Amino acid sequence: MEIYYKISRALQNVRNLRPLVHHITNYVTVNDCANITLAIGASPVMADDINEVRDMVILSDSLVINIGTLNSRTVESMIEAGKKANEFNIPVVLDPVGVGATPYRTKIAKEIMSKIKIAVVRGNLSEIKALYGINAQTKGVDSSENFSTGENVSSSIKSFARDFANSFHTVVAITGKTDIITDGETLYSVKNGHEMLSRITGTGCMCTSLIGSYLGAGSNDLYGALAGVATMGIAGEIAYNRLDPYEGSGSLKSKIMDAIYHLSEEEILNWGKIDEE
């Protein structure tokens, strides 16, 4: 029960402090990432030009790097912004979208990991496996692997997650039917969310922005990652339950924004499905 109160306090910190979250993200979901950041109470900035990213990140409270729409221009900006963030102890969140789909994408993600201290890596199982160096299949930028059977996650996946976190000295959030978040020691499983979230482009990217918002407000890496993932899952369930019979994925997306905007401690306590081990 204490973990739900920690998430609630972290949410209140975001709303009180309104951290500036610097995004270098992809153009498919950039508007969604900006709006979800505003919905939770943080402030987004989406600057990606090499001539200003160093200056912008110094003004920011966290940095989100999302490689969804890679190009050589923004890769340089990502690396330089990440280095500057490290210099000023500003937490960096990496979303390795589609890693494993192409050699170039995998190479760039590994380069970012090698040159920047990453506070949290959030991705699906295929992406995290590919980043670790394990052969994994992706379908475009989506995972082709389902690591949960019903409600349960295998001990081998939990062990893999811990190994990843320890090897890269980071927190990893592997999102799927059941989400896994670990710093290599403590491990949380989150069973919130709804399968209809997979019908909306950018829910993973938005989740990463939420993590960046929590880190920017002072949450430590593990709790910030957990709070971001749980917030997205809880909001997804609340939003789905508010759909009228004739409404679909478009309405769900707007209702997710509304659910996060109005998210309360009571809803976190009533809807949260978090296990710790």
Residues near 196 by Cβ (< 8 Å), separated by ≥ 6? 236, 240, 249, 252
Residues near 182 by Cβ (< 8 Å), separated by ≥ 6? 158, 161, 162, 165, 171, 172, 188, 222
Expressed in angstroms, the distance from the first to the final Cα of the chain is: 14
Assign domain 2-276 to a CATH class. Answer: alpha beta
Residue 156 has pLDDT above 50, yes or no: yes
- Interval 181-226: pLDDT, tens: 999 999 999 999 999 998 998 999 999 999 999 999 999 999 999 9
Contact indicator for 210, 29 with CB cutoff of 8 Å: no
Domain ranges of the chain: 2-276
For the record, the structure tokens of 83 come out as: 């280095």
For the segment 220-235, the average pLDDT, to the nearest whole number, is 98
Binding site, annotated residues for ATP: 122, 175
Binding site, annotated residues for substrate: 46, 202
Interstrand relation of 120-123 and 138-139 (parallel, antiparallel or unpaired): unpaired
Q: Which residues face 98 on adjacent strands? A: none
How many angstroms separate the CA atoms of 30 and 41, rounded?
A: 17
| pLDDT attached to residue 134 | 79
Backbone angles phi, psi at 91, to 5 degrees: -65, 140
Binding site, annotated residues: 46, 122, 175, 202
How many angstroms separate the CA atoms of 152 and 273, rounded?
A: 13
Q: How confident is the model at residue 154 (pLDDT cuts 50, 70, 90)?
A: confident
Residue 142 has pLDDT above 50, yes or no: no
How many angstroms separate the CA atoms of 127 and 243, rounded?
A: 31
How many angstroms separate the CA atoms of 159 and 147, rounded?
A: 13
